[in-house]
Structure 1
Amino acid sequence: MTSLPADDAACGWYRTSRSRQPRPGHAGETKTRWAVVGAGFTGLAAARQLALNFPNDEIVLVEAQEVGFGTSGRNAGFAIDLPHDIGADDYIGDVATARMALKLNRTGQSILRSIVEENGIECHLRASGKYQAAIEDRGVAVLDAYRRGLDKLGEEATIIDGKDLPDHIGTSFYRKALYTPGTLLLQPSALVKGLADTLPPNVTLYENTPVTDVEYGDKTILGHRQGRIVADKLILANNAFGMRFGFLQGRMLPIFLYASLTRPLTGEEQARLGGKSFWGVIPADTFGTTVRRTHDNRILIRNSFSFNPDGRPRQQYLDRFIKNHRISFERRFPMLDEIDFEYTWSGSLAMSRNHEGFFGQLAPNVYGALCCNGLGITRGTVTGTLLADWLDGRRNDLIDMLLASPGPNRNPPEPFLSIGVNANLLWGQYRAGLES
């Protein structure tokens, strides 16, 4: 492996969630029927469902870092149900396809809620819905078009004028918002930790065990610094790092987003802000700013993008983008301009140019659910679960849809890829204007 996960240390979600004792790393040699690489949403779901489907088998789950510290614990905490086809005039596109995407996302939500409730996982999960908000003319046009698309689907959506938004989210910054009730908001690192600590007894989790080499054949041999794992069947659930294992090379894009989290607001500051005590806003413009007010009365700001082909963060981007966070925060919350950020971090997305993921067989005895395209919480959960069901011989309409996907399409070669992606990111952020 020429590149291993190495996320930056100051992830606010990880630092403010409950501490836990990481499971020991792997040492020596272990033989197993099933090995799963990646203990994020996809890998945790796959391992859990494999354990239920094959109760007499031991499942080995390998995580390069500590659970809750990596990518799955670094997103904005939106478990979104609605489809959003940015290439369609109404952001819905083909209605039949949109309904299947909606069913897939809501199945992921249902799986998560069931696990959280059954195991008493404290991750501040609430069915709060989301606000999609706009300030620029382009953003307002997006909201109007998306509302028309949701009407075609028969999905509930409410337009809220800017003058009424302070009663919802405190700030009068936005001109208009589209509220949809189906999104779940949660603390992502707390959820990942809880999912890991409630795995079935026939799952063995090894943390801080980065795989450094792999050998394919009748059995897959995963090598690392302290030993090796010999598996009859391998499942890759490590998104863009799947390319480092030799699959989908040149088909996924490791895109990094950046977030900052304030200290908790005092009672007086909360009164100054006003609005509801718990909410989430996503931007109408793809390159705009995501904002949340959390269960512990912090404000999250998430924006700014970079393309890091090796899948690893860069300190210079963190240093640069915290200034963007400060500007975005002060635009939205001038009444709180003295509030400092306590944490700033990066987190990666596995994207494809055609917005398709991979689901199915990668090679003999090697399978994967990869490339969630920014929907890791719901899509990772449902695809990991369904992959385990498919390996148990089950079929349904969702599995058939996933298997029929063409998968991520091929990217242009370097250096054209980096030039093109970086130019697109810079142009998109510039065009976002005040939405950023």
Structure 2
Amino acid sequence: MKYASVPFNQNSNGWLREAPVVNPTLHGDCNADWVIIGAGFAGLAFARRLASHRPDLKIVLVDAASAAESSSARNSGFAIGLPHNIGSSTAELKKAQDYRSLLQAGIVELEKIVADRRIECEWEKAGKYHCQADPRSESVLQEYRENLDLMNEPYQILDREALAQKLGTHFYHKGIYTPGAVLLNPAALVIGLAATLPENVILHDNTPVMAIHYGKMNRILTPFGTLSAPKVMLATAALSSELTPGISKQAAMATFASLSEPLSKEQQQRLPESSWGLTPVNAIAGATLRYTRDRRILIRQHVVPALRGCVTAAQTYAATQLHRATFDKIYPQLKEVRLAHSWSGTISVTRNGAPIWGAISNAVYTASGCNGAGVSKQTIAGLLLADYALGYNNPLISTMLALGQANFLPPSPLLDAAIAGSLLKERWLGRREA
């Protein structure tokens, strides 16, 4: 039997302030009405919505590690309400109106939960900057601006000097500020979402799913026990293609982040006072940056294939060296600041930028293919999937379906070669963005 891959990062999540509470591992055999695999934003949103609609259902949610160590907890902490380009692709901008409706609905849902359940996650409506370092990247930023105009969204264009006043660096040539994004601590948010699930959701940590035997009663195999349920929701993104019946449409990529030590009072005086977040016009080659509310600098940069979900210590070390060089280039006045934490997380990438969402069969549902912007996107995707599975009428379901379906991806080794070529192309196109 071929078993599913299990995500493994040889590093620790720098967002964690303290050791999180760990839920019991599944032991023995268990029956449920629904089994949800993966405690990231999509899985948690699906579980919460499903349980709220149907408090009579027994819902079991399992994760290979825990919500606190999931890729959702390892991201950069942007809840984005507007579509933007990923790499040099502007595929998401082609469906800008639909993505805007979905992303903003995801933020509204999260904001309500954070307020109602008093989740302390440094939630801050700070907006974000979308910036280019290379003057020759003008076409990508221009298309972004044109879509903002079509959507009648407010924004502000900033030149190099204006950006320096806001960000404390002259590295960027031009940028667009939009006020709708929320900045947050993703680990604290995911931990809070997992801890406040409805009572009819049972959460098991450290319970990797190795295989699923599909049938009238699906049997989900884990190392220490078996789950049986008529319905399954896969929130594993691209990490466990062996669990998904049918053709492959997504690939797992690893991204890396580093977080500095808190700046001293004297160091803080070299930067503007306000916290902020920045996304680059080329997310493959450029660097995502944040200046957090507790006065640390986050840098996320570097993408490598992670088709089996594993990231090595050597890969993390290489990314850390790149982060150090990029940090010093952007903030030469802060070269003495230490990067205290470095870690990885995986994202699901599709060929055409479309999600993988809906029913795979009568018994299996999935919400994946985030393409690197998962907080608000995967929250609303999971919520709507629960409505869809239960037959609830939600007008945003048609909006979700309008995004289309992801294209077919070839198997390895063709896929490996295609990904390597795509990354080389993006790094070349964005070589002056970092």
**Superposition TM-score tier, normalisation by shorter sequence:** over 0.9
**1:271 equivalent in alignment to 2:269:** yes
Residue 364 of structure 1 deviates from its aligned partner by: 2.6
8 A contact 2:251–2:350 mirrored in 1: yes
Aligned residue-pair number: 431
> What corresponds to 1:11 in structure 2?
13
Q: Per the alignment, do residues 139 and 121 of structure 1 end up closer, same or farther by CA in structure 2, a change over 3 Å counting?
A: same
SS in 2 for 1:117: helix
8 A contact 1:215–1:221 mirrored in 2: yes
Give the AA of the match of 2:38: G
Residue 254 of structure 1 deviates from its aligned partner by: 0.7
Alpha-carbon distance in structure 2 between the residues aligned to 1:23 and 1:92: 37
8 A contact 2:78–2:181 mirrored in 1: yes
Aligned pairs (5 A) from 1:19-418: 19-84=19-84, 94=94, 97-247=95-245, 249-272=247-270, 274-287=271-284, 288-403=286-401, 405-418=403-416
Q: Which runs of 4+ in 1 moved over 4 A?
A: 85-94
SS in 1 for 2:29: strand
More deviation, 236-245/251-260: 236-245
Residue 404 of structure 1 deviates from its aligned partner by: 5.1
8 A contact 1:169–1:276 mirrored in 2: no
Residue 45 of structure 1 deviates from its aligned partner by: 0.4
8 A contact 1:90–1:149 mirrored in 2: no
SS in 2 for 1:68: helix
8 A contact 1:92–1:149 mirrored in 2: no
SS in 1 for 2:333: helix
8 A contact 2:13–2:342 mirrored in 1: yes
Alpha-carbon distance in structure 2 between the residues aligned to 1:335 and 1:248: 53
Q: Per the alignment, do residues 348 and 87 of structure 1 end up closer, same or farther by CA in structure 2, a change over 3 Å counting?
A: closer
Give the AA of the match of 2:188: A
Alpha-carbon distance in structure 1 between the residues aligned to 2:250 and 2:89: 25
- Unaligned stretches of 5+ in structure 2? none
Residue 429 of structure 1 deviates from its aligned partner by: 1.8
Deviations 1:236-285 (A, max 9, x none): 1111134120335431111111111111111111012x213311011022
More deviation, 130-139/180-189: 130-139
Alpha-carbon distance in structure 1 between the residues aligned to 2:83 and 2:429: 24
8 A contact 1:253–1:352 mirrored in 2: yes
Residue 143 of structure 1 deviates from its aligned partner by: 2.0
Deviations 1:1-51 (A, max 9, x none): 24112123322113x3x4332111111111111111110000000000111
Q: Per the alignment, do residues 399 and 90 of structure 1 end up closer, same or farther by CA in structure 2, a change over 3 Å counting?
A: closer
Q: Per the alignment, do residues 9 and 86 of structure 1 end up closer, same or farther by CA in structure 2, a change over 3 Å counting?
A: closer
SS in 2 for 1:409: coil
Give the AA of the match of 2:431: G
Alpha-carbon distance in structure 2 between the residues aligned to 1:185 and 1:284: 19
Q: Per the alignment, do residues 92 and 210 of structure 1 end up closer, same or farther by CA in structure 2, a change over 3 Å counting?
A: closer
SS in 1 for 2:33: strand
SS in 2 for 1:106: helix
SS in 2 for 1:241: coil
Quote the sequence identity (%): 36
8 A contact 1:9–1:345 mirrored in 2: yes
8 A contact 2:239–2:307 mirrored in 1: no
Residue 92 of structure 1 deviates from its aligned partner by: 7.0
Q: Tell me how large the CA RMSD over aligned residues is.
A: 1.9
Alpha-carbon distance in structure 1 between the residues aligned to 2:304 and 2:38: 23
8 A contact 1:135–1:175 mirrored in 2: yes
Alpha-carbon distance in structure 1 between the residues aligned to 2:390 and 2:322: 48
Alpha-carbon distance in structure 2 between the residues aligned to 1:263 and 1:179: 27
8 A contact 1:77–1:188 mirrored in 2: yes
